[in-house]
Chains A and B, each alone.
Chain A
Amino acid sequence: MNKTEMYISIHYAEAFISDRRQPLWERIVQLLSADMQRVKEIDLLCYCHQTNPDPGMIGCSKIRNELNLTGVFPLVVGQSGSLSFTNILTILNWLFACGSHRRALCVIADSRLKAIGAETNSYLTQISIVCVTEEHGDYKIEDHRKDKGSQRTCLTDSAAEPFLQLYRQEKNRAIDENEQITLHFEAGEFGRSELKLRRMSFSSFNGRLEN
């Protein structure tokens, strides 16, 4: 398989704790509605998750319908811990390389009951919205590969978390042009993967969703 060039930009990332489970799709639709101009440019809507935050609701389909993205091809990957995002990247590489699609918006979302600490019985929600294209972006994907995992059961890791960390890092300090960043996705029994990114020039950094 020949790898095609892929670029990513983090549009938005957030984590919050709440005392009851709120419909996650509502928050995602709210976030995406704030940037419809860019959302309308996509030809793939990807939903990556491990938990099922909205029981009885098919998340990607709901978001696709709410935003009237009925011409956009949906892809949903779950059941693989934090590898859900790198699994989507594997598929995007195929679709971009064959020329059928060019621009994907990946919604990475999980919500789970916190099991330990003072906030037991409250929900931790993590959302990252990442654009993947073959044309341009804040970071060039230099490599992503799956490796052997451990036997450790990994119930909680969300693929949203590494992007959340990078998003915060970007806000705290400017990331140098050409700086290499490695994101780690530790999915325990599902395996693990590394995503190696290279910061592109700042001129390609053209705004993101505002909360």
Chain B
Amino acid sequence: MRDPLFSIIDHSVYIPHSRITTEDAIRQVKDDGIDFWMSESAYRGNGFELVPVEQSLSLEQMIGAACTPILSRASQREIRIAAIIFACVTNRDQSDRHLFASLVGHFGLEQVPVIPLEEYGCSTVHLSFRLAEAFFAACRGGDEAILFVTADKAKASNHRSDSYMIYGDGASAALYQKRHGEGQQVFTTRMKVDGLLYDAAPERIKLYFSTFYLGIRQVVRTVLGDCGMGIRDIALIFCTNLGLQTWNTFAQVLGFPLEKFYAQTLSEEGHIHNTDILHNIDHAVKNGFLKRGDYYLTVTVGFGGYYGCSLHRYD
């Protein structure tokens, strides 16, 4: 195996304790005029049961909850943060403009660029991997790090659902550094961008739903081919929590067993935008499903045609 591109040397996940049932969430968004595309029971059949809902913290405080442990540890280790990449899929209102002010002030990071990336939806975590690959390829020193932060909080029903999925609230952060042999190694990362859905035109929505699994097939096969690996070498697949039905489609087109998809967080937390990936990895490590030396894939889908896949090893 080649050397890793970089490592996720630290990560932190914040998910609110408060939950509502998917039935209640769907009823609420329907009451508010969202044309949700399936029944409550059909959605539940995808493995979803509960939706985390933040009831006390602001979006800024959620970011603080996810980032503070990492930045405290990074500060103790004198790790220099070169950039903060931020993903927030949920629409934000004016009160959410000041999201990083107190955090960067507290940790003396005022001169560090905070880069909010848009359009890639729930695949922005893989865009951050792709950009980190470029950063570390050009970075000869090993002491600089990139902080990836993602946070979402629905303040209205059109944030909670886009008609197709119910989104939970949560935040997570990960520190990337060119340090081998520590944390989650990243060996190869690929993205495919179709960008089919730039508006709500029904014909493009139909085209997207009839082709998105092909995008996933392409990036996953490319990643495995890059590393000369097959599904037998892969312990687990951490995929965007799109539900069992969608994962089953992916499993079929890839020829993978559905059991490889890590489904342990599906019922309690459902789909939380870009947080799914870090949360699933964190959950699998803490519960002993991922062991040191295991190779695994991360796979994401950004609504509208953004696909990402990376090969990792837990060291």
Contact = CB atoms under 8 A, between A and B. Distances in A.
Contacts of A145: 111
Interface of A: 1-2, 4, 47, 56-62, 64-65, 70, 73-80, 83, 86-87, 90-91, 94-95, 97-100, 145-149, 151, 153, 155, 189-191
Interface string B98-126: 10010000000011111111110000000
Given A79-B86, A97-B134, 19 more contacts: A1-B138, A47-B119, A57-B198, A58-B199, A60-B119, A65-B198, A74-B193, A76-B118, A77-B116, A78-B116, A79-B92, A86-B113, A87-B113, A94-B131, A94-B134, A98-B137, A145-B111, A189-B101, A191-B110
B111 A146 contact: yes
B206 interface: no
Q: Is the interface of B mostly helix, strand, loop or mixed?
A: loop
Contacts, number: 107
A2 B138 contact: yes
Given A2-B139, A58-B197, A78 B118 contact: yes
Contacts of B196: 61, 65
Contact-residue size bin, chain B (C-beta under 8 Å from the other chain): 35 or more
B193 A73 contact: yes
Nearest to B97: A189
A80 B114 contact: yes
A74 B117 contact: no
Interface in B147-205: 193-200
B144 interface: yes
B307 to A, nearest CB: 13
Contacts of A94: 131, 134-135, 138
Contacts of B200: 56
Contacts of B195: 58, 60-61, 64-65, 70, 74
B113 A79 contact: no
5 contacts: A56-B200, A78-B118, A87-B113, A95-B131, A155-B94
